[in-house]
Amino acid sequence: MALPYSLFLYLLYLSSTNAARFNHLDEDVRSPSGTSKFGSLWPLPQTVELSDVSFNIASSRFQIVDAVGSSAGPGCSLLQSAYRRYFDYIFTGVRSAESRARSAELTQLQVLITSADAECDGFPGVTSDESYELTVDQPTALLKAANVWGALRGLETFSQLVYEDDFGAKTINSAKISDFPRFPHRGILLDTSRHYLSTKVILANLELMAMNKFNVFHWHIVDDPSFPYMSRTFPQLSKKGAYQPYTHVYTPADVKMVIEFARTRGIRVVPEFDTPGHTQSWGKGQTNLLTPCYSGSAPSGSFGPVNPILNSTYDFMSQFFAEISTVFPDAYVHLGGDEVDFTCWKSNPDIQKFMEQQGFGKDYSKLESFYIQKLLEIVTATKKGYMIWQEVFDNGVKLNPDTVIHVWKGTQQQYQSEMARVTASGYQTLLSTPWYLNRISYGQDWQGHYKADPQDFQGSEEQKKLVIGGEACLWGEYVDGTNLTPRLWPRASAVGERLWSNKSVTDIGDAYARLSLHRCRMVRRGFPAEPLFSSFCPQEYQGL
């Protein structure tokens, strides 16, 4: 039946007023001043001096080279590959206009590494120096850093200073920048168990992490749904626990490639092997590892968390983490310890008997602590430090002084109280609660991520110094290679600036102006970062 014309007009009126109402909600950040005096710099450096004096850069005459006296010469392959990568990024653009040689031209970026050990062949660590100084003047620019990690961050900043003039020629303004990160741990968590992520997708996001000055890839590599990590010691774990044992696994070569790709971008790879919960996929390839659940007096056929009362459990964990300590070079491994469901333990008569023998009564958190304590001793024996989710701390497990407590639960008030308790106990801590990017909503939710600060809690200055940073987490229930990158970026960029830039950098309007341009830069470089709001990029994404 045809819609009456009067009703059609009324519905059209309602839709237009609703649209106007939704537009009004975002008006404050949709129409800021339009530009920032800092251009497209993201995250914003600690100190920036920009002048109106500009120089053209021509691809045929511009070079990135080692400065005279630099401790990293042509043999530093990490830097040499970075020079080529950033040269390509600088000269990737909408147009290919080439300015004629003229006096106002920048011809070189010289990179000076000042430390005797440039760390070209090393791995970044929690204490790595990422500071740098950048001076742009004619005819050369100078990037000065103690080691390669600072130089990598400075190269990204230099590339962000380059823009196109009205004629399409590459241009850069005279500048002086001094920069260093506010926090030493700036991470992204990706979940490769709930959906398998190809190495191509992982490498693309490592590249994006470098563009946003993140320095930790928290690889939540296994969980209940699947076990894609291919273990040399226990190959049956992935053969039986992966979604597909040949196509949906990370071979030793894959893992090595990810670690090396990350290293050359100044990114640590911290693997997470979460136990005793989140281990259903482990049990498929390791007999007797999980606890048999009971229905009444008979086994139900289902299984619960890792069985904490068997010696074979700890023999397995000793061998497994001995392997992990050799595969992943970082000083830390994440041991999880969160969300342990006690239902199955409570149903098992052998567990009940063990609880009585140990004097645990009916408090199954004590049994969890018993298991975690033994696991921590195993990992400590491998000479690794460890990170754990906050439940391990909350349950009173005895922890090494260098343990990192990862806070993820609760409302703003609750996680702030948790941060205060953890730091009051003398432990270093990371924050993730406000940065669970798998939680999405209509509108510009990046603003909330941007406003959250890991040191925003009641505590002394000494307590706040124990906050070493935070991580943006993208859990994988509804994310795979088809939608991960646009869902993560540029929303994670907001977290990146909060963790890198000075605490005083809080202007949402200025951030919107810079982040809009930074998002277009990621798109221009070939990555499908989603838009902040109605807008356009000079070069739209051409991925399809």
Q: Which helix (H) or strand (E) holds 112?
A: strand 108-113
Question: Is residue 102 very low, low, confident or very high in pLDDT (cuts 50, 70, 90)?
Answer: low
How distant, in Å, are the alpha carbons of 161, 336, 434 from that of 420?
39, 21, 16
pLDDT on residue 93: 57
* Tokens found for residue 140: 């050369």
The residue type of 250 is Y
Using alpha carbons, list the distances in angstroms from residue 367 to 50, 306, 398, 441.
59, 11, 13, 39
Q: What does the pLDDT look like over 222-243, one tens digit per residue? A: 999 999 999 999 999 999 999 9
Task: Give me the pLDDT at residue 14, please.
Answer: 39
Strand partners, 268: 216
Q: What is the pLDDT of residue 100?
A: 54
Residue 386 and residue 405 in contact, taking contact as beta carbons nearer than 8 Å: no
486 preceded by cis ω (within 30°)? Answer: no
Residue 502 CB partners (closer than 8 Å, separation 6+): 44, 46, 182
**Three-state SS letters, 126-174:** CCCCCCEEEEECCCEEEEEECCHHHHHHHHHHHHHHCEECCCCCEEEEE
Residue 15: the pLDDT is 40
Residue 127 has pLDDT above 50, yes or no: yes
Does 33 score more than 80 pLDDT? Answer: no
Task: Tell me how far the alpha carbon of residue 176 is from its chain's centroid.
Answer: 28
pLDDT in tens, 330-345: 999 999 999 999 999 9
User: How many beta carbons lie within 10 A of that of residue 44, not counting itself?
Assistant: 20
The 10 Å Cβ neighbour count of residue 274 is 23
Q: Are 25 and 445 in contact (CB under 8 A)?
A: no
Report the pLDDT value the prediction gives residue 114, as an integer from 0 to 100.
97
Contacts of 313 (CB under 8 A, 6+ apart): 288, 289, 306, 307, 371
Sign of CA dihedral 224, 226, 229, 233: positive
d(CA 147, CA 132): 9
Compute the distance between CA of residue 130 and CA of residue 378 in angstroms, rounded to an integer.
32
The amino acid that residue 542 corresponds to is Q
Question: What's the confidence (pLDDT) of residue 107?
Answer: 95
Mean of the per-residue pLDDT values of the chain:
92
Of 438, 450, 530, nearest to 29 by C-alpha is: 450
Instruction: Please name the residue ranges forming H helices in 192-286.
Output: 199-211, 236-241, 252-263, 280-283
Please say whether the beta carbons of 264 and 82 come within 8 A: yes
One-letter amino acid of 244 = Q
How is residue 529 annotated by DSSP? P
Number of residues that make up the chain: 544
How would residue 138 be classed by pLDDT, with cut points 50, 70 and 90?
confident
What is residue 405's three-state secondary structure? strand
Confidence label for 167 from pLDDT (cuts 50, 70 and 90): confident
pLDDT value for 140: 94
For 398-456, what is each residue's pLDDT tens digit? Answer: 899 999 999 999 999 999 999 999 999 999 999 999 999 999 999 999 999 999 999 99
| C-beta neighbour count of 235 within 10 angstroms | 13
Whether 60 has a pLDDT exceeding 90, the answer reads: yes
- Sorting pLDDT into bands at 50, 70 and 90, what band is 377? very high
Provide the CB-side half-sphere exposure for 474 (13 A, CA).
25
Between CA 290 and CA 463 the distance in angstroms is 39
Q: Is the pTM of this model over 0.75?
A: yes
93: nearest Cα among 35, 146, 169: 169
Rounded Cα distance between 503 and 452, Å, is 11
Taking alpha carbons only, the member of 152, 150, 116, 154 closest to residue 135 is 154
| Strand (E) or helix (H) holding 176 | strand 170-179
What is the per-residue pLDDT for 337? Answer: 93
Partners of residue 49 on adjacent β-strands = 176
Q: What is the pLDDT of residue 12?
A: 39
- Quick one: tokens of 13? 């009126």
At residue 6 the predicted structure's pLDDT band, cuts being 50, 70 and 90, is: very low
Q: Which residue has the tokens 């196109």?
A: 164
Catalytic center residues: 339
Tell me whether the omega of the peptide bond preceding residue 401 falls within 30 degrees of 0, making it cis: no
Mean pLDDT computed over 298-308 = 96
* Angle formed at CA 188 by CA 268 and CA 424, multiple of 5 degrees: 85
* SS3 at position 323: helix
